[in-house]
């Protein structure tokens, strides 16, 4: 039976280059990559140039060799962090749910999505779409906005270059780069992010980013509750912020 999946040669070649570099004891030349992987040398140079712009490879000009860059290391670090983050964050999420009486979750960024790694569902509360392992568009979620607000404007622009980058679920939320910039500006000013029906109508969320030692948004905590429930927003934000700071402290963070 033939494979009906669409073929994306450039993506395939890019991943093969990265995988090959990861298995080598040191940097290698572009010619070696072209020969070993049977990719045209001109294509190898084009792909390496693009990878270098995004930090996934570095060019050692004096040696005429290429090695993995810091962005590739960050991907590996992100994968390694998720399980420890879940183990460290689960009891904090549980305690937050016990205090507030609403469901709590912990999410990490992956591209333009958030990935939920912990969910503590409150008693007598409906099931949410934010089960562990679920991905949702970051710009629509409180956790995603909290983490995006901690990135530089250049990083956000690279993730959301134009309106085609914006997914939609309920007709609410940012739909272009300008609207996202305005939303993230509010998050930075307030110190927390709010979602109101962008993911599920009738539900609201409040989230705060968990920052590591370098100020990078390693994750974000959020509390989700029915939009008709009267909560003390200041008290809620204070509690979520304390929880985010505590997880940040446990992973070696210095600020929240």
C-alpha to C-alpha distance for 190 and 208, rounded to whole angstroms:
10
Res. 80 pLDDT band, cuts 50 70 90: low
Architecture of domain 9-68: Orthogonal Bundle (1.10)
Architecture of domain 73-250: 2-Layer Sandwich (3.30)
State the DSSP H helix or E strand holding residue 82, giving kind and residue range, or none if neither: helix 70-100
Q: Are 13 and 47 in contact (CB under 8 A)?
A: yes
Res. 2 pLDDT band, cuts 50 70 90: very low
Least confident of 39-48, 118-127, 152-161: 118-127
Range(s) of the chain covered by CATH 1.10.10.10 = 9-68
222 bridge partner residues: 105, 207
Q: 44-75, pLDDT tens digit by residue?
A: 999 999 999 988 898 988 889 998 887 776 67
The answer to whether residue 204 scores a pLDDT higher than 90 is yes
Least confident of 1-10, 18-27, 149-158: 1-10
3-state class of 18 per DSSP? helix
State whether the Cα torsion 242-84-211-126 is positive or negative.
Answer: negative
Range(s) of the chain covered by CATH 3.30.450.40 = 73-250
The answer to whether residue 1 scores a pLDDT higher than 60 is no
Instruction: Give me the residue label for tokens 């994968």.
Output: 79
């Amino acid at each position: 039976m033939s494979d009906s999946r669409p073929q994306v040669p450039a993506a395939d070649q890019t991943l093969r280059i990265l995988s090959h570099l990861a298995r080598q004891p040191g940097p290698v030349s572009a010619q070696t990559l072209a020969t070993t992987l049977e990719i045209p040398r001109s294509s190898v140079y084009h792909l390496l140039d693009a990878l270098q712009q995004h930090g996934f490879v570095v060019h050692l000009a004096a040696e005429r060799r290429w090695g993995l860059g810091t962005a590739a290391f960050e991907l590996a670090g992100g994968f390694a962090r998720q399980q420890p983050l879940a183990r460290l964050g689960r009891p904090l999420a549980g305690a937050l749910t016990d205090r507030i009486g609403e469901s709590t979750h912990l999410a990490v960024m992956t591209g333009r999505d958030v990935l939920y790694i912990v969910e503590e569902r409150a008693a007598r509360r409906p099931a949410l779409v934010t089960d562990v392992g679920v991905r949702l568009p970051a710009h629509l979620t409180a956790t995603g906005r909290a983490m995006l607000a901690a990135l530089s404007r250049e990083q956000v622009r690279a993730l959301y270059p134009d309106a085609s980058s914006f997914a939609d679920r309920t007709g609410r939320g940012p739909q272009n780069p300008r609207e996202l910039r305005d939303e993230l500006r509010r998050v930075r000013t307030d110190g927390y992010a709010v979602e109101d029906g962008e993911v599920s109508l009738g539900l609201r969320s409040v989230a705060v980013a968990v920052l590591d030692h370098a100020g990078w948004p390693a994750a974000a905590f959020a509390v989700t509750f029915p939009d008709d429930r009267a909560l003390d927003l200041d008290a809620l934000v204070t509690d979520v912020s304390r929880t985010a700071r505590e997880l940040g402290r446990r992973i070696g963070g210095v600020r929240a």
